[in-house]
Amino acid sequence: MSIISREGRSVLIHDMCLRDGMHAKREQISVEQMATVAKALDDAGVALLQVSHGGGLGGNSLQHGFALHSNEEYWDAVGDVITQATMSTLLIPGLGTMDELRTAYSHGVRSVHVATHCTEANTSPQHIACARELGMDTTGFLMMAHLNSPQGLAEQGKLMESYGAQTVYITDSAGYMLPEDVVSRVTALKDVLDDDTEIGFHGHNNMGMSIANSIAAIQAGATRIDGSVGGLGAGAGNTPIESFVAVCERMGLATGCDLFKLMDMAEDIIFPMMEHIVRVDRSSLTMGYAGVYSTFLLHANRIGKKYGIPSRDILVELGRKKMIGGQEDMIEDTALTMLKDRGLNVAV
């Protein structure tokens, strides 16, 4: 059984502002901002909020960027202000460790997304088992889910369930899916998972489909939805929670959230925090269309300017090569190869 209360909620909303939103902020969210956002989420009745470096546990690195503060400082700041919400984090095996997960637990984290590529669930058994041993609400998080078939994804989800995951997520990391893609994958998971294993959906808005996809997931049997207030997240952002809650209320789906508080929070807290407008623009739309990992956006824009190559061209090539999370270093290699193929010299 999950440790998260479902009372009064037919849909459990999990906010990503303080983890996925770190990508949009180049990992530069302060502890003061963390506390402000977390308190507002808590006041609005959001059940779960994810807190960490954008890459999760072990994310601080040259490849992924360095945050202003440690995860421990972020967890402590958030833990001091929340009263009803549960704090979660992200663990990608090979980046984060079980020792770091134990540290997270000691700082008040009680839920975790154990995240793998959609064909690599077999990298997660030890980490899922560790989370369960700690008594955490434990999710198997299958990233870039459009790169696996519904049947293949179901097999991966069944593996995660066998390791101890209480929820299995379809993660549309690229914002590539259409509603029928989501329905086919949720249905395939529902057909093989135990009745008490929940299904979640994490969408990105790169083609403007995140709310439609999240609703499609619910209608097919998902009970957990990730999003972020104001859509603060990688690429064109996550499913904007305030809009999603409004749609849920129109549909009679109980979220336990206060819609007007979420609307005010987006306007008064989140939008002023944004360094750039998180929206569907030329680059983020290209990511969704080409099926590119959402966290590549700012990297591709920066490297495109560095070498004088349109970021759209780089993103399309990354999509053709089916690059996945963890291959951020290949963005610059790809740009250099494109320069060579175009007969251009690299400026020194």
In CATH, which of 1.10.8.60, 1.10.260.40, 2.30.42.10, 1.10.540.10 is domain 282-341? 1.10.8.60
Q: What is the pLDDT of residue 209?
A: 98
Report whether 62 contacts 23 (CB < 8 A).
no
Q: What is the pLDDT of residue 347?
A: 53
pLDDT-wise least confident of 8-22, 39-53, 90-104, 295-309:
295-309
pLDDT single digits (tens) 222-269: 999 999 999 999 999 999 999 999 999 999 999 999 999 999 999 999
pLDDT single digits (tens) 300-331: 999 999 999 999 999 999 999 998 878 888 89
Clarify whether 23 is annotated catalytic. yes
The DSSP annotation for 180-246 comes to HHHHHHHHHHHHHS-TTSEEEEEEB-TTS-HHHHHHHHHHHT--EEEEBGGG-SSTT-B-BHHHHHH
Q: Is the pLDDT of residue 344 over 80?
A: no
Mean pLDDT of 194-205: 98
* CATH homologous superfamily of 12-273: Aldolase class I (3.20.20.70)
Same fold, 12-273 and 282-341: no
Annotated active-site residue in 14, 23, 113, 202 = 23
How far is 204 from 237, CA to CA, in rounded Å?
6
Taking the domains of the chain in order of start, what are their residue ranges? 12-273, 282-341
Q: What is the pTM of this model?
A: 0.94
Q: What is the chain's percent helix, strand, coil content, to nearest 5?
A: 45, 15, 40
List C-alpha distances in Å: 70 to 26, 27, 95.
14, 11, 15
Nearest CA to 13 out of 111, 102, 81 is that of 111
Q: What is the pLDDT of residue 32?
A: 98
Report whether 295 contacts 328 (CB < 8 A).
yes
Q: What is the pLDDT of residue 345?
A: 67
